[in-house]
Amino acid sequence: MSRPGAQGRSPAARAGSPGPFTGLPLVAVVAVFAMLVLLGMLVFAAATLHGQAKTAWTDPSPHQVRFVYVAPDVKLEVLDWGGTGRDVVLLSGSGHTAHVFDEFALKLKDCCHVYGITRRGYGASSIPEGGYDEPSLSNDVWIVIQTIGLTSPVLIGHSMAGAELTGVGMLHSERLGGLV
């Protein structure tokens, strides 16, 4: 359907009709054009940065790293920040490694010997097909405690680690200093 008043007009006559930018101030047209150019530059910059190699993460925290086998072909990363006093084991929540405690652990060194365990499936620990149920994860924590020779450690954890703390506490409460 054609516009009223445009019937019977030739294409040449309609070519002189107002276009979409007719009547707009020149500054508005330039501003829209500039925004489109800027958007294009941002997209290009993001695509360029995405293709660049990421720099490797370097661990700034002063600790020793060891690995403890808790099952055949399953090793867990254990961080030892040192310190004096009671043994304390830090357990992270889901999606994190023991490195989440890199700064916090240093604050405990004056009163405790601080360790952190990265559970299976995360970070430098093994990523086995199974063993992610609560009894297996709790057993992993207990095997690490026994292997590195901790005496009455206090286990401190958050989020998902609460289930592991509960599991270890239910089976070995007489050999723990506490659960937080």
CATH number, position 68 = 3.40.50.1820
Claim to verify: residue 83 and residue 124 sit in the same structural domain? yes
Is 150 in the same domain as 108? yes
**Is 1 a domain residue?**
no
On whether both 119 and 42 belong to a single domain, the answer is: no
- Claim to verify: residue 72 and residue 156 sit in the same structural domain: yes
**Domain region containing 39:** 19-50
**pLDDT tens for residues 107-120?**
999 999 999 999 99
Q: Which stretches in the chain have pLDDT values below 70?
A: 1-24, 28-29, 45-55, 57-58
List the beta bridge partners of residue 179: 155
Are 46 and 72 in the same domain? no
Q: Is residue 165 part of a domain?
A: yes
Q: Are residue 39 and residue 100 in the same domain, yes or no? A: no
- The reply to whether 110 and 168 lie within a common domain is yes
pLDDT score at 171: 93
4 domain-assigned: no
Q: What is the pLDDT of residue 53?
A: 57
Q: Within a domain: residue 167?
A: yes
* In a domain? residue 58: no
Q: Which of 144, 130, 131, 141 is nearest to 164 (CA)?
A: 141
Does residue 3 lie within any of the structural domains?
no
d(C-alpha 152, C-alpha 37), whole Å: 65
pLDDT given for residue 47 in this prediction = 66
Q: Give me the half-sphere count of Cα atoms (radius 13 Å) on the Cβ side of residue 120.
A: 27
Last residue of a domain, one of 7, 28, 50: 50
Q: What is the pLDDT of residues 130-167, one digit of tens each?
A: 999 999 999 999 999 999 999 999 999 999 899 999 99
Q: Is residue 106 part of a domain?
A: yes
* Residue 27: per-residue pLDDT: 73
Does residue 108 sit in the same domain as residue 41?
Answer: no
Tell me how far apart the alpha carbons of residues 97 and 82 are, in angstroms, rounded to a whole number. Answer: 18
Residues 95 and 46 in one domain: no
**Based on the domain organization, do 35 and 72 belong to the same domain?**
no
User: What are the φ and ψ backbone dihedral angles of 34, each rounded to 5 degrees?
Assistant: -65, -40
Do residues 26 and 97 both lie within one domain?
Answer: no
Q: Where are the alpha helices (DSSP H) in the chain?
A: 11-15, 26-50, 102-108, 134-147, 161-172
Given this model, what pLDDT does residue 83 score? 93
| Within a domain: 7 | no
Number of domains present in the structure of the chain: 2
Same domain, 87 and 169: yes
